[in-house]
Structure 1
């Protein structure tokens, strides 16, 4: 494994950009991907969020364009991403790494002015970062073209499938130049439907598995706090925000309505929080992210969709106000902390309806949740009650019969002489007759006592 970026023989302009950003030692994904990408190999990469994959694909692209400059033609590299926030983050990353180069980049996403984006396309930036829907619109109208494309990168491909972009991605692949190098990055390569994209995108790809999505992040502590309900959770979260030590924090909810309601509650408690959800227009989203980056707010409440692609330095706490519905979503959330070797803490508030989901996530990711309690805010809910062992199943019909027969009292043995005397009047013996107060019968009387023959 490479121990320094200098071993990649990158141009001086890129080495200066890396030094300015504090990059010295490549992460595992960078150490494996950069040399292969520089050799022109198509790659299928599995890497978790926060592993440094953005620089892993940006540096080989920028190295190629610096070494082989072109001053005419259209876009040379396209980076497709699922969300506007991720597109913006990659563009910022490019600007920092390429601050000593003359390379140009443009961003094409929904929610922005089309006129402004058409002007960007006319400048033919070497690198284009785009979301699928808006770019496909420009390709269909002829305002964008990919005839000179040399690199096609799909970042967070699994999330693009989750968001329903599969058809758009396949259409964009058809518009792009066939003689290109393609790189696909995904947190998991077992995503349903991913194969149809990889078959059309990649040619003889080499697979790279780094920090698989289900591998526990070594720098993140996972904690759980039992709660009794919504109001109890609010009070527990408020206590954590007031007493935990952190520079920035992310709070996740499962719905937009939940994010807004929680934001109103915490703002009413004088907490410096902002809310990010999918219904905000791009201007408002940029304003919210600006507040967090500048430090005017130190806590962001977000839904999974809105938070996809957020890369904010200094996030030391992730709070799951609502437990996510899938294990992969849990990793995407908690991967916002513990970056670049820093320690992070993820705390999940678990109510009675979420217990089974928490156990499923723990099994899926092979995680151990450390239980925590807040004095004065302990939950009466202590986990599911233990069930009694089920009783043994009822016996089959055959067994029931044999059991009943065994339990039945044994009959008294019937003697032959008893059967012969059925219907006959019993004559008391002399001794018994005397005991009963009867006179003993004479032989003649006994004979007359016998019943008549038929």
Structure 2
């Protein structure tokens, strides 16, 4: 019961009104640690209740500070990678603080700087922000970061992946008077995240719940092989026409592909919307609202929609493009199978994606179910595993010995195969451009 966690009575009232009775495992573990004043590094599945796990104890401490007669200031800063996640956390903050006098605000890219400066002059108690725009306000003097006491880095690994490392370091340095730092994520991240954890957190408590090997126990994970781009489009159209789903999210790796699919599906009278970093803030907000409310049943998106968004009723996720890492795969399919509901995640893979898919399976310690759609069976079904007989093996050994004595001839390679490792990552030829927040 939340009442046993010693939270402020005004917060308990908000929880009761919203039918929150039993804390989730991450909330049960994290809230006492945060209330004790310890820095925290927490890793837990998407949909496990991480937002409430850091909001409730921080709001409790903020209420206690205010009741002690502290002067007004922006004490809580929540840093997030995307505008969509910022908006969602702001809504959660307002919901939990409904029966308090705490005020919250949001500053993100794509909105008026002057209007945001005016908002900051009202001194909100809690500020939710994306890195680039927040740093502009700090440098302009409209956000006094020295007053921040609680710094929360939500999805820090994603912020690093998006190229915000320098902005994050500058913001963290500006918050030099903070008394507690919290870092939450759905994945353990890589070396950069470990380094920033060591540099930023002071004697932290580490919590790891629901490792990726236990990912989405209620979500079936399937792969369908495609022999060409045209074949893949047919597979997608069949799935959207024949699968039984309330809402579906289709993920691509690029904005161009998202727009292309949107145009193709719209031409076939599918009710779809598209979401990616090149859309302005109004378009992005409209896409999420229409999708959440059921105005469109299908949302085509890049990974800007893969992190943190909690949209009710998403029971189908399709990876039209295979994600480039195991962590991104975790976040994408985490949009379905939430709160114990059933979900289905389908990845469409061509022959160049096979090694990447295999590395993600190793990373997750899981094997995906293979599936063939009726009437759309292609000629590619994955690499062939040919087991040689003893005779054939002996023949191969003889040929190998003959080749060993011969002068080696290096054949020109027209294309290098992508290398992948057990961490689920495949390197890119070029560093991707930093997307808009």
Residue 298 of structure 2 is aligned to residue 299 of structure 1: yes
**Once the 2 structures are TM-superposed, how far is the Cα of residue 278 of structure 1 from its aligned partner?**
0.9
Give the drift of 1:388.
Answer: 6.8
* Offset at residue 386 of structure 1 (A): 3.4
1:264-343 alignment to 2 at 5 Å? 264-343=263-342
Quote how far apart the aligned CAs of 1:323 are.
1.1
Please point out which of 36, 43, 46 is paired with 1:39. 36
SS at match of 1:68: helix
**Contact 1:278 1:306 survives alignment (8 Å):** no
TM superposition score normalised by structure 2: 0.86
Residue 401 (structure 2) aligned to one of 382, 390, 394: 394
Alpha-carbon distance between aligned partners in 1 of 2:220 and 2:251, rounded to the nearest angstrom: 17
Which residue of structure 2 lines up, in the alignment, with residue 53 of structure 1?
A: 50
Q: Secondary structure at the match of 1:147?
A: helix
Query: Counterpart in 2 of 1:175?
Result: 174
CA distance in 1, matches of 2:20, 2:178: 32
CA-CA distance at 1:343 after TM superposition: 1.3
Which SS does the other structure have where 2:77 is aligned? strand
Structure-1 separation of matches of 2:307 and 2:209 = 20
- Contact 2:77-2:126 within 8 A present in 1 as well: yes
The residue number in structure 2 matching 1:26 is 23
Which residue in the other structure is 1:5 paired with?
2
Classify 1:213/1:386 alpha carbon distance in 2 versus 1 (closer, same or farther; 3 Å). closer
What's 1:207 paired with? 206
> 8 Å contact 2:76–2:151 — kept in the other structure?
yes
Matched, 1:259 2:266: no
Aligned to 1:297, what secondary structure does the other structure show?
coil
**Is the 1:319–1:348 Cα contact (8 Å) retained in structure 2?**
yes
The answer to which of 162-171 and 189-198 deviates more is: 189-198
Unpaired segments ≥5 residues, structure 1: 399-454
| Contact 2:225–2:349, Cα closer than 8 Å, also in 1 | yes
Partner of 2:233: 234
Structure 1 residues 177 and 205, CA gap change in structure 2 (3 angstroms): same
Contact 1:227/1:349 (<8 A) preserved? yes
Q: Note the C-alpha offset of 1:396.
A: 10
The one-character-per-residue Cα deviations of 1:415-437 (angstroms, maximum 9, x if unpaired) are xxxxxxxxxxxxxxxxxxxxxxx
CA separation of 1:75 and 1:229: change in aligned 2, threshold 3 A: same
Residues of 2 paired with 1:122 and 1:10: CA distance? 30
SS at structure 1 position matched to 2:401? coil
Written as runs of structure 1 = structure 2, the 5 A alignment for 1:28-427 is 28-69=25-66, 72-387=71-386, 389=388, 391-392=396-397, 393-394=400-401
- Conserved in 2, the CA contact under 8 Å of 1:73 and 1:148? no
Tell which structure's C-alpha radius of gyration is larger.
1
Contact 1:157 1:184 in 2 (8 A): yes
Question: Could you tell me how far apart the structure 2 residues matched to 1:316 and 1:214 are?
Answer: 21
SS in 1 for 2:321: coil
- Equivalent residue of 2:145, what SS? coil
How many residue pairs were aligned?
Answer: 395
Q: 1:395 offset after TM fit, Å?
A: 6.4
Measured against aligned partners, the alpha-carbon deviations of 1:347-394 in whole angstroms (never above 9, x if no partner) come to 111222222221121111111211222211222222223357571131
Structure 1: distance between partners of 2:235 and 2:188: 37
TM-score (norm 1): 0.83
Consecutive unaligned residues of structure 2, counting only runs of 5 or more, are 406-437
